[in-house]
Amino acid sequence: MTDLLDLVKERLEALAPALTSVEVIEDIEAIAKGTPAGSGAAFVAPYRERGTANELSTGFRQLVWVEFLVAFQIRIADDSKGTARVAAFRAIKGEIEAAIAGWQPTPEAAPISLIGGQGGRLTTGVSTYVQTWETTRYLTG
């Protein structure tokens, strides 16, 4: 079975042409620590999971809410006012949202929904934006 993060990566590669690359990474902190990436590079990372009570009186079936992160970088060095970075940001953010908002990665999963997002400047000419997304999966035993 393909992992949720791999499914998201494949979907973004197929439906978000403004992205120059998409990687599944372990921790989003790697971006803040200066991992080199080109403008338009996107990253998908696990975030957290929250389980609900077992649904069955016999056996085991538990709904798990799964959160993951999608981050992207914009690198434009010659843009003192940030106008070009904002334009690139809008295009990439729009493509990511169009690709995964409301999409069900598996038939059993809830449609993916946006929890929130936050942007910031890493260094001169480099901006990053991170969104938190949510869906579900079932844990059975």
Spatial distance between the Cα atoms of 32 and 43, rounded to a whole number of angstroms: 12
- State pLDDT tens for residues 4-34: 999 999 999 999 999 999 999 988 777 766 5
Tell me what pLDDT residue 28 has: 79
Tell me what pLDDT residue 100 has: 98
Q: Give residue 1's pLDDT band: very low, low, confident or very high (50, 70, 90).
A: very low
Q: Going from the N-terminus, what domains does the chain have, and what CATH number goes with each?
A: 4-140 (3.30.2000.10)
Q: Give residue 93's pLDDT band: very low, low, confident or very high (50, 70, 90).
A: very high
Q: HSE of 90 in the Cβ direction (CA atoms, 13 Å)?
A: 5
Return the exposure string of 75-97: e unless at least 16 CB atoms fall within 10 Å of the residue's CB, then b: bbeebeeeebbeebbebbbebbb
Higher pLDDT among residues 66 and 128, named by residue: 66
Tell me what pLDDT residue 24 has: 94
Q: Give residue 115's pLDDT band: very low, low, confident or very high (50, 70, 90).
A: very high
Higher pLDDT among residues 92 and 77, named by residue: 92
β-bridge mates for residue 113, sequence order: 134
- State pLDDT tens for residues 32-86: 665 566 789 999 999 999 998 887 767 788 899 999 999 998 887 776 676 777 8
Tell me what pLDDT residue 36 has: 61
